[in-house]
Amino acid sequence: MQTSFTRRQGAPNTMLIVDDDELNRDILSMIFEAEHAILQAENGQQGLDLLAEHEAEVCAILLDVMMPVMDGMTMLEHLAERHVPERIPVFLITGESDSEVIKQAYDLGVMDVISKPITPPIVLRRVNSVMELFAARNHLADVVAEQTEELREQNQQLQNLNMGMIEALATATEFRSGESGEHVRRIHDITRLLLEETPLREQFSKEEIRQIALAAILHDVGKISVPDAILNKPARLTPEEFATMQRHTVSGDEMLTQIPQLKGLPFYDYARLIARHHHERWDGKGYPDGLAGDDIPIYAQIVGVADVYDALVSQRIYKPPFEHMDAVDMIVNGRCGTFNPLLMQYFRDIAPAIRDLYARGAHTHTPAQTETR
């Protein structure tokens, strides 16, 4: 017999008929056997057993109510418990006229109740309409799942591109200062160590830590606006030049504000605050805003420490490199400005891990000078 819908390749196509009466099973089989494989069960228990074995193939369940061993309502309760009627349409085909039973069956998730004695063309129509609905719904769900996966991949590509652009921007800044780009990578790593390996981790989620570490690499992005003559001056800066140099903090904040595409990214606020405040000091003697204590965002404080440490142990155009322990002591003793005492404690705790980080990575070598910028 002709049906009104075409089955999708690989979709389930077996009708499970559960009725104690052979006559009814035969009539129902006859109606559907042209288009479907048929499974027959004589009672609810057999029906559940067959379903357990063939669930992936079953496209509909035709269920009688009055049966020995396990009746239709009991089988339906078992099905409802496992949410089967949400995936496979269940039809009650019954001589039952008790409206309470029928109502209960609908409550348990049957899609339609067809009364006996049945009229084949009507059964065919009603069952096929519902199966068509389920097939369309499953198809739609598949399409949505496919599209979701595509979107997820595109989103991942965009994120990778974002990361690439951000790293490119940070590296470009470093190159202008005559450094290799390793500096920003190390700042990223130290920032993450300080957030992950100390009690600071309790204040941030894993994702926030990831975003802060990423934001850290843009801390010096404002140096793009500092003239080469000042940035790479192989001599002590004049007070006026030093003031220009210090402007890189505010410039960095402003630059980030002017890239509208960055505003939607989760690291945007971190990046702005880090760029602006990573030269602030705990005692308020830093720049550009002279913030003190907890007014300085903790992540800007962390990047501030990481930045000073990296500057100390690296050779710079204006100074020679210091040994790891000397650098740690200088920072903790306030030789490079005052830092948050608690942060100093954490910094000392993870100093060995930081040293290991540098032992693995390459150092940069540029002509030496003295001064802190």
Alpha helix (H) ranges present in 314-370?
324-332, 341-360
| Nearest-angstrom CA–CA distance, 357 and 294 | 28
| Nearest-angstrom CA–CA distance, 22 and 36 | 19
Q: Does 199 bind another protein (CB under 8 A)?
A: no
* Least distance from another protein to the Cβ atom of residue 117, Å: 4
**Segment interacting with another protein (CB under 8 A) among 16-24, 106-114, 248-256, 341-349:** 16-24
Pairing of β 14-18 and β 37-41: parallel
Residue with tokens 């939607």: 264
Cβ-based nearer residue to another protein, 21 or 289: 21
Q: Does 116 bind another protein (CB under 8 A)?
A: yes
Longest dimension (CA), the chain: 105
**Segment interacting with another protein (CB under 8 A) among 42-50, 78-86, 115-123, 172-180:** 115-123
In sequence order, what E strands does the chain have?
14-18, 37-41, 58-63, 90-94, 112-115
* Least distance from another protein to the Cβ atom of residue 24, Å: 7
**Contact (CB, 8 A) for 311 and 258:** no
Q: Which residues from 48-87 bind another protein, rule CB under 8 A?
A: 66, 68
Q: Does 118 bind another protein (CB under 8 A)?
A: yes
Name the residue among 242, 257, 247, 191 with its Cα closest to residue 224. Answer: 247
Interface residue with another protein among 31, 58, 131, 255 (CB under 8 A) is 31
Interface residue with another protein among 69, 86, 95, 151 (CB under 8 A) is 95
Q: Does 26 bind another protein (CB under 8 A)?
A: yes
| Nearest-angstrom CA–CA distance, 358 and 186 | 8
**Segment interacting with another protein (CB under 8 A) among 17-25, 133-141, 229-237, 239-247:** 17-25
Interface residue with another protein among 5, 8, 30, 175 (CB under 8 A) is 30
**Contact (CB, 8 A) for 357 and 193:** yes
Cβ-based nearer residue to another protein, 120 or 334: 120
Binding residues (CB under 8 A) for another protein: these are 1, 20-21, 23-24, 26-27, 30-31, 66, 68, 95, 98, 116-121
